[in-house]
Structure 1
Amino acid sequence: MTLPTEQYSCIHRVCVCVQSCHATKPGMLNVHLVPHTHDDVGWLKTVDQYYYGDRNDIQHAGVQYILDSVVDQLLKNQDRRFIYVEMAFFYRWWKSQSSSVQQTVKQLVNEGRLEFVNGGWCMSDEAATHYSAVIDQMTIGLRFLNETFGAFGRPRVTWHIDPFGHAREHASMFAQMGFDGFFFGRLDYQDRARRMRNKEQELLWRASDSLTPPMADLFTGILPNGYNPPEGFCWDQLCSDPPIRDDPDLEDYNVDDVVGCFLVIANSQSTVYKTNHIIMTMGSDFQYENANLWYKNLDKLIHYVNARQANGNKVNVLYSTPSCYLQELHRANLTWPLKTDDFFPYADDAHDFWTGYFTSRPALKRYERISNSNLYLVVQLPGKGPFGEGESQTMKKAMAVAQHHDAVSGTEKQHVANDYARKLANGWQHCRVLQASQYIVLPNRIQTFLHRFLRIYCENLNVSVCPLTESSKKFSVNVYNPLARPVTWPVRLPVNGTAYSVSDASGKAVDCQVSMCASSFAVNELVFQVQAPPLGYTTYTVALIQDGPPPAPAQQRAPPVIQNKFLQVTFDPETGLISIELPNDVLLKRPRYNASAGNNVESRQPSGAYIFRPNSSTPFIISRTAKTEIIKTSVVQEVRQWFAPWVSQVVRLYADSRALELEWTVGPVPIDDSLGKEVITRLDTSIKTSEYFYTDSNGREVLQRKKDFWPTWNLKQSEPIAGNYYPINSRAYIKDDVDQLTVVTDRSQGGGSIQNGSLEIMLHHRLLHYDFRGVGEPLNEISGIFPDGLVVRGRLLLTLDPLPTAADMHRPLAEGMVLQPLLTFTAGDLKPNTQLEFSGLLAALPPAVHLLTLSQWDEDSVLLRLEHQYQSSESKVSSQAVTKLFSTLEVLGVAELNLSANQWKDEMKRFDWTPEKGTGHQCCVS
């Protein structure tokens, strides 16, 4: 399949060819004008407000009018082109059109005059998103295009013009989805300057060290003006640039001036790119609401510039699209510089590092993550049609919207953040309706999941609230495990009794303990460990034995110690510092940075939702003393610590666990001193790291980092803290030749290794100044529940393991943190003959294989995605190929799709690109 110059739609092996790209001229500088609009799926206004054009007092933007106007203008001149990106908007608009308009749009798509690029539900963030959620949001958008427009609607180029840094895993996913190229607008200012000098703004990105080239190779282009038009050439209704006045009999005739200025810009741009083709983005945020303004002036620009060719001018201007431009670059048959690392962190000036958004709005980031886990479970249950208003579709679309680069990133206005959370909450409610009546798809039969009796969901267990467990003398706990391997999971339930019995599905007694609840919302807490089968559920029965006062926690002056057969953890009773003992020691501290208010000598840049800029490189210790309580039971040992009224943590060590759990609570962050604050947790160790550390890319492959270093150029570091922060989506670690310390997070956060042997993670920040990146308000979250400032609670898992076994530890931990078991509750006795346990698999999948997707595709089929989740050099055992997957099934045939499930893999034809010799840099896990 050759696209886009000749697009083919193949039906029953009969191919129809449509010329879609304008001819270019050899020997000339061909300028590809790409009319486009960038439509944020929420930012300053909510998604609905942007679509309808509501609240124009905040920002003038109405997406429905953009699409109306563009379609009208494309019909007036067959030379015109337009690209569109965000299916969250287009799908909504498409549903409201008449059949005649839909047929007209299909014709525009078939002729290549309207081209879809990217094609996901949104343009996702690349730092704070988990790869599974990115795949889901791309799938829902691309599937809509496939089913609506067929092969003509299938995007060949991905278009991430606005995200604030670019992840290697995104490029890998896009390559596996069949895209030919990737274009973006933002990269570090030092990197851009070097690439402009060396004509390396177009490159081949080798986005995986595990997949055989060219499986994860993706041609990548850096756009010249971000995603805006050249200066002086914006003709939207909100622009102030003068139109082309081409009547010589009227005043202010300016054709010669406009053409002359354009030729200077085009020729200058050509000096920093490699071929005789350059691209210009003609549009910007929410433009083309009155498309006539743009197209009338673009028509004139093309006409008058090309007219100069008769006088020997060597510039040819044409309407184009990213895929048409990419076709010409491919035809040039050149070699391209190779890149193997990523594009984080991103800075647009010396003191302006966009690393604060890695942590911004931590509560929303957590809500998005657990919503992803909930959706993962729900789609394993059959739903209604893929684009009907089935209950699961509400959650799918809410989660897809949440992946937007101004959603989970935390860079939106507060009322928009509230709307994202509202959409997710609405999705949860629809899912609960679905879970109350649906079935789980299992091999050879369908098994009732929820036993046909009422189940209660306790969605506030993170703050120890569950009315059913607090009031019932007997209840059952159903634990559903969506993973394809068995899991052991700690259950903590708020109760009012002091002694309980717990039995598993076979009636066997389970060790459990009751202690005083660390939260103020409940009196006691019942703790026990559950074991859930792969892709199935099990049931535990809980019965009250005794009421009475809870055991009081001990306050110790001697150094508290908690330990099991894997770890020994010592606490300083005065300072609260934690020491984890192995050949290497670990000290855990809870300091903070004071945020810059924009009054520094070097720069006026303050910290904000986007920008992280502490006013000192030395963090402040929140408290040098800590109140400490210790509780030891046969199930769990925990130490509760209070460093200040607004900072506390509970350190837990379960009996058979290799991981130490840190449950942190931060907030309301005090601002009485008029200073914003950025709260971190820091682990100082004796591990000899030589300034290297490791972070994951969107929860999948791991990349090696080094302090004050970038593999592709000589970095001049101007911000020693913020300039060394990277996104941590699920895990980060430091190691030497002996030990590895791994931290697994429960949401996306930012962090780095500022000192040798140290690893720090930002947990929460509250800021009092706007960072001048467009959102127009400080990141100072309050609500009716938290009028004095947001309180956030989260979990970190720490493992300190000797090498090489550490490599096999952190992936299962991270996988279990991302996709947690679902707990549901039933008061009283269960109905007779209730099946208490079930597994959807005859045997668990091998440790290296992850069940990425199991969901209903249509009435007769399911979509199954399996992935090998270890990198090639990560583990001596788990990185090996898995040659036998099904122990009880004989596989007779497999039809494989691409990653986004919108094309058969054997029909997926991608451009071949040749890298320059001697380029590329080692960046990855070793």
Structure 2
Amino acid sequence: MTCGSFSVMAAVKQAPLLALLVVAGEVLSFPLVQETQPATSCGYESCHVTKPNMLNVHLVPHTHDDVGWLKTVDQYYYGDRNDIQHAGVQYILDSVVDQLLKNPDRRFIYVETAFFYRWWRQQSSSMQQTVKQLVNEGRLEFVNGGWCMSDEATTHYSAVIDQMTLGLRFLNDTFGACGRPRVAWHIDPFGHAREHASMFAQMGYDGFFFGRLDYQDRTHRMVQREQELLWRASDSLTPPMADLFTGILPNGYNPPEGFCWDQLCHDAPIRDDPHLEDYNVDDVVKRFLVIANSQAKVYKTNHIIMTMGSDFQYENANLWYKNLDKLIHYVNAQQANGSKVNVLYSTPSCYLQELHRANLTWTLKRDDFFPYADNAHDFWTGYFTSRPALKRYERISNSNLQICKQLEVLAGRASREGPYRGADSDTMKEAMAVAQHHDAVSGTEKQHVANDYARRLADGWQHCQLLISNSLGALTGVFGKQNYCDHLNISVCPPTELFKKFLVGVYNPLARPVTWPLRLPVNGTAYTVSDVRGKAVPCQVVPVSRATQELRRNRGFAVNELVFEVQAPPLGYTTYSVSLVLDGPPLASVRHRTPTVIQNKFLQVTFDPDTGLLSSLSNLETKQSIKLTQNFYWYNASDGRNVESHQASGAYIFRPNSSTPFIISKTAKTGSIQTSVVQEVRQWFAPWVSQVVRLYADSRALELEWTVGPLPIDDHLGKEVITRLDTSIQTSGVFYTDSNGREVLQRRKDFRPTWNLNQTEPIAGNYYPINSRAFIKDDMDQLTVVTDRSQGGGSIHNGSLEIMLHRRLLYDDNRGVGEPLNETSDIFPEGLVVRGRLLLSLERPSAAADRHRPLAEQEVLQPLLTFSEGDLRPGVKFEFSGLQAALPPAVHLLTLSQWDKDSVLLRLEHQFQSRESKVNSQPVTISLQKLFSSLDVLGVSELNLSANQWKEEMKRFDWTPDEEEKTVLKTLQVPSEWEVTLKPMEIRTFLLKVRLV
């Protein structure tokens, strides 16, 4: 591999992904762990031979092991709490390895690296060598290979890439090339995002298989024999960069009916002794042939796949394999009698290879697989919002993890070896990876499991806090105790409440400077604030709202909030000094009336004085104005006793019992604060719904801070609470959502791009996942809403956008979780209260992306605040930037993470789509050598997106769509040896050899 004047010596394929770099004749070594290994025949070379003139049935033994769901991760691994669910992953792996050794024809696939990693560490060296042999021979194959099988609706792309990298790196380091999965495998997630397919393609996967899709879509595809297709997963990346062959499995991820032979199953074993009672070989073979030939009619080739396994199966693998051995033997024996069916042990990659060899053309798909319904009234769109507090905590944790990883790089070894012991980022990496599971951030787990996910994130953050304190000490030159305030959203922060003079440290994880509003709980009435250069910063003290006082309960006692804006350098840290003033100006007072208007130099917001509600929003720069009203409503949740269907709303499924929501209040009681720093209109709609409409002095976005809960259930009905924005924008039933925080997709009411929809649920069937933003627009105006977590939403009425904020349900929806989504806590035994915020931006459609993409990015990666007592003093580096200069607006520094002691992983991302912006949708060139201020980049090599393969060695299967000729991918010439060019929506991943300056 070459890049300019330096080259990378080819790494041995069986070795971990580490290599040597040669720069100007000097050898710079990455540690290269290399083992002498026998010749291998893993991957496609290990596949059993098929028969060209027969129907080849690929049997895939597998287990689906949820990384938490009904039991916690630990309980699932050890087999604890079998009173909840019988499942023990350690026994599955023990048993499978034992059975694979008994017959070299047998195959098994494994998916969840989080579990395999635990099991592997407990094995003897001899057992580890045995397992390596099985992997090298392709008898044990890893598919997907991430730390978990992530959710696709509620995850952010940055967290998905991280968890995939974590799992795939372990497999690569442990097994080399034979541990690298060739196939993405998402058999259980509840709908499928286009951005996930794009990421999998860029990670080097040859294909993608899943089990769940809308029942109408499946019926259509079965008739058309389009259950295998080519997914074009990006409108911006040049094909085939984001093209991914995609297959829909015939039985979800279960075996055909009547052919389940696990200890959890009830099907009869194959009884093949004719001298004993109940001999059934003839019956088994006959039933199997009927199923196989029936399945073949809805697929295109003479190859079909059958998933032989299910949830937590193979704990006693002997049951499965003994019967599968017999099934293969007796079905194939019929070939002597003219049968044209050939059965074999296989894997998804072996099956995929045969589809590739068929050399057919495949239907092209450009949209995604949301929403998912498994029946006419059963839309899995509730989980887009389920457990909104956990969803927010996961998003905050992602931001904290990125900061933790960045500072670990910028401070070097001092980050782990400083005075605060126990510092590491690994605990947080694993906790965040587990949280991406499709029964974690999705909100579809039992309550005690949700608590466990949150506990893991909290534990990871404790380790990261120590690392950050060490890092900041090394970078500023002063090691001292840093205080972190994790409850600022409810105005709780002991240092700011107690100290009369304190420092606020602000670390910005973005590669561009940011301006960010701070609200710090205080008990004084006047303060002075100065920046690191001693310049006074405008500030204002305002009273804590009644809603906040009620929400925090006895967790804090500040009566006021100090409000000011901070400015932080790119990938950098700055400090502000705050001092109490004893005889300062009076406190800003709350006026108990509705103002007609609040405005700054960018926006003007008007209110109806009679109702207290928003009435219009204007952009003063572009001279735009729209009518805008906003209110809160709830849908009564179905209890499962409707005439049309017995389906209830639950953790997974959203099913209102009426298409018309109930308005919580037609008017809002209001109080307002109007200062030069911030303007607020505080609205009370009900004892359980309040909001602050907030406009900061220098903000181009209007903030709506909502507080909802506890949801009343005295009427014995569950509630699904939404906020709805009704505007004068003419949308014609169209709105737009992001896909996992990246590319934007168009959504049309009562419409699916790939089949003629029979809409049976007019509300739930029009809900889509919103990960970071959604918008509505016409020719003149675009209203964008940026969210602070993943939520569900839709545009049910012309000019309208509704977002579901909170759910409290009294019935289970019979999808396995076995309990209603009725969240309470020790602090809120009467029901959970949730607080969040929406940011509203009004722009011309042609320029809107230039505003909403950076706004969403800043909401995902927020500045980290630290607090310490004292004042600024000379000799201390109270400000620094890790970059020599801010990156261009189109470029996002996605990943900066320590790889080993001398190398770091860097991902740079072009965050605009093609043709999205006149200014920012152009290729951008970045110099890696001139990127960092505190790091010398000595060498570089490019990897694939998941960092488990050299970019130049990433070879994927070519597939031909049936609509057009394949586009040849063109490579732009880079201007010089150290520069890289990013095209719209491109992410490039590099392994850098570095040393601290």
Q: TM-score range by the shorter chain?
A: over 0.9
From 686, 711, 725, the counterpart of 1:669 = 711
2:136 is aligned to: 110
Q: Is 2:602 aligned against 1:556?
A: no
Q: Is 2:565 aligned against 1:538?
A: no
Q: Is 2:446 aligned against 1:400?
A: no
1:443 is aligned to: none
Q: Distance in 2 between matches of 1:543 and 1:775?
A: 52
1:96 is aligned to: 122
Offset at 1:870? Answer: 0.4
2:451 is aligned to: 418
Q: In the TM superposition, what are the counterparts of 1:411-490 in structure 2 within 5 Å?
A: 411-438=444-471, 448-449=475-476, 451-490=478-517
Q: Distance in 1 between matches of 2:477 and 2:85?
A: 47
- The amino acid of 1:639's aligned partner reads V
Q: In the TM superposition, what are the counterparts of 1:697-708 in structure 2 within 5 Å?
A: 697-708=739-750
- The amino acid of 1:488's aligned partner reads T
Say if 1:389 and 1:432 are closer, same or farther in 2 by CA, change over 3 A. closer
2:948 is aligned to: 902
Q: Distance in 1 between matches of 2:214 and 2:98?
A: 39
- Secondary structure of the residue aligned to 1:175 is helix
Q: Distance in 1 between matches of 2:190 and 2:391?
A: 17
Q: Distance in 2 between matches of 1:234 and 1:145?
A: 30
From 914, 917, 921, the counterpart of 2:963 = 917
- Secondary structure of the residue aligned to 2:244 is strand
Q: Distance in 1 between matches of 2:423 and 2:289?
A: 54
Q: Is 2:282 aligned against 1:256?
A: yes
- Contact 1:82–1:115 (Cα < 8 Å) also in 2: yes
- Contact 1:169–1:698 (Cα < 8 Å) also in 2: yes
Q: In the TM superposition, what are the counterparts of 1:745-894 in structure 2 within 5 Å?
A: 745-830=787-872, 832-885=874-927, 888=930, 894=940
Offset at 1:564? Answer: 1.2
Offset at 1:806? Answer: 1.2
2:699 is aligned to: 657
Q: Distance in 2 between matches of 1:94 and 1:178?
A: 25
1:614 is aligned to: 656
- Secondary structure of the residue aligned to 1:380 is helix
1:856-885 deviations in Å (ceiling 9; x for gaps): 110111100001010012111111111355
Say if 1:89 and 1:891 are closer, same or farther in 2 by CA, change over 3 A. closer
Offset at 1:297? Answer: 0.1
- The amino acid of 2:295's aligned partner reads Q
TM-score by length of 2: 0.89
2:681 is aligned to: 639
2:298 is aligned to: 272
- The amino acid of 1:393's aligned partner reads D
Say if 1:48 and 1:624 are closer, same or farther in 2 by CA, change over 3 A. same
Say if 1:905 and 1:596 are closer, same or farther in 2 by CA, change over 3 A. same
Say if 1:450 and 1:718 are closer, same or farther in 2 by CA, change over 3 A. farther
Offset at 1:436? Answer: 1.8
- Secondary structure of the residue aligned to 1:193 is helix
Q: Distance in 2 between matches of 1:402 and 1:165?
A: 18
1:74 is aligned to: 100
Q: In the TM superposition, what are the counterparts of 1:230-245 in structure 2 within 5 Å?
A: 230-245=256-271
2:8 is aligned to: none
Say if 1:260 and 1:824 are closer, same or farther in 2 by CA, change over 3 A. same
Offset at 1:580? Answer: 2.6
Q: Distance in 2 between matches of 1:390 and 1:177?
A: 30
Offset at 1:115? Answer: 0.1
Offset at 1:449? Answer: 4.9
1:735-771 deviations in Å (ceiling 9; x for gaps): 1110100000000000010011110100001000100
From 516, 521, 531, the counterpart of 1:494 = 521
1:164 is aligned to: 190
CA RMSD across the alignment: 2.2
- Secondary structure of the residue aligned to 2:941 is coil
2:760 is aligned to: 718
From 618, 625, 628, the counterpart of 2:667 = 625
1:307-355 deviations in Å (ceiling 9; x for gaps): 0000000000000000000000000000000001000000000100000
Q: Distance in 1 between matches of 2:429 and 2:938?
A: 32
Offset at 1:577? Answer: 1.8
- Contact 1:695–1:731 (Cα < 8 Å) also in 2: yes
- Contact 2:588–2:675 (Cα < 8 Å) also in 1: no
- Contact 2:61–2:108 (Cα < 8 Å) also in 1: yes
- Contact 1:473–1:543 (Cα < 8 Å) also in 2: yes
- Contact 2:469–2:482 (Cα < 8 Å) also in 1: yes
2:642 is aligned to: 600
Say if 1:715 and 1:246 are closer, same or farther in 2 by CA, change over 3 A. same
TM-score by length of 1: 0.96
- Contact 1:382–1:439 (Cα < 8 Å) also in 2: no
Q: Distance in 2 between matches of 1:680 and 1:608?
A: 16
Q: Distance in 2 between matches of 1:884 and 1:72?
A: 52
- Secondary structure of the residue aligned to 1:530 is strand
1:533-587 deviations in Å (ceiling 9; x for gaps): 0001110000000379844300115x43211122211222443321233332111
- Contact 1:574–1:626 (Cα < 8 Å) also in 2: no
Q: Is 2:406 aligned against 1:380?
A: yes
Q: Distance in 1 between matches of 2:921 and 2:504?
A: 36
- Secondary structure of the residue aligned to 2:657 is coil
- Contact 1:435–1:450 (Cα < 8 Å) also in 2: no
- The amino acid of 1:898's aligned partner reads N
- Contact 1:843–1:887 (Cα < 8 Å) also in 2: no
- Contact 2:423–2:465 (Cα < 8 Å) also in 1: no
- Secondary structure of the residue aligned to 1:883 is strand
1:748-806 deviations in Å (ceiling 9; x for gaps): 00001001111010000100010010000000000111000000000110011123221
Say if 1:919 and 1:52 are closer, same or farther in 2 by CA, change over 3 A. farther
2:379 is aligned to: 353
Say if 1:424 and 1:304 are closer, same or farther in 2 by CA, change over 3 A. same
Runs of at least 5 residues in structure 2 that lack an aligned partner in the other structure: 2-11, 16-33, 550-555, 619-624, 967-983, 986-997
Say if 1:805 and 1:887 are closer, same or farther in 2 by CA, change over 3 A. farther
From 173, 179, 187, the counterpart of 1:153 = 179
- The amino acid of 1:663's aligned partner reads E
- Contact 1:337–1:919 (Cα < 8 Å) also in 2: no
Offset at 1:243? Answer: 0.1
Offset at 1:161? Answer: 0.1
Q: Distance in 2 between matches of 1:564 and 1:773?
A: 49
2:980 is aligned to: none
Count of aligned residue pairs for this structure pair: 909
Runs of at least 5 residues in structure 1 that lack an aligned partner in the other structure: 2-6, 441-446
Offset at 1:895? Answer: 1.8
- Contact 2:810–2:822 (Cα < 8 Å) also in 1: yes
- The amino acid of 2:676's aligned partner reads S
- Contact 1:338–1:919 (Cα < 8 Å) also in 2: no
Q: Distance in 1 between matches of 2:615 and 2:917?
A: 28
- The amino acid of 1:158's aligned partner reads A
Say if 1:598 and 1:555 are closer, same or farther in 2 by CA, change over 3 A. same
1:473-509 deviations in Å (ceiling 9; x for gaps): 1001000001100000000000001110000011000
Q: Distance in 2 between matches of 1:195 and 1:902?
A: 34
Offset at 1:451? Answer: 2.9
- Contact 1:662–1:797 (Cα < 8 Å) also in 2: yes
Q: Distance in 2 between matches of 1:891 and 1:540?
A: 32
Q: Is 2:250 aligned against 1:214?
A: no
Q: Is 2:86 aligned against 1:60?
A: yes
Say if 1:719 and 1:238 are closer, same or farther in 2 by CA, change over 3 A. same
From 575, 580, 585, the counterpart of 2:627 = 585
- Contact 1:277–1:329 (Cα < 8 Å) also in 2: yes
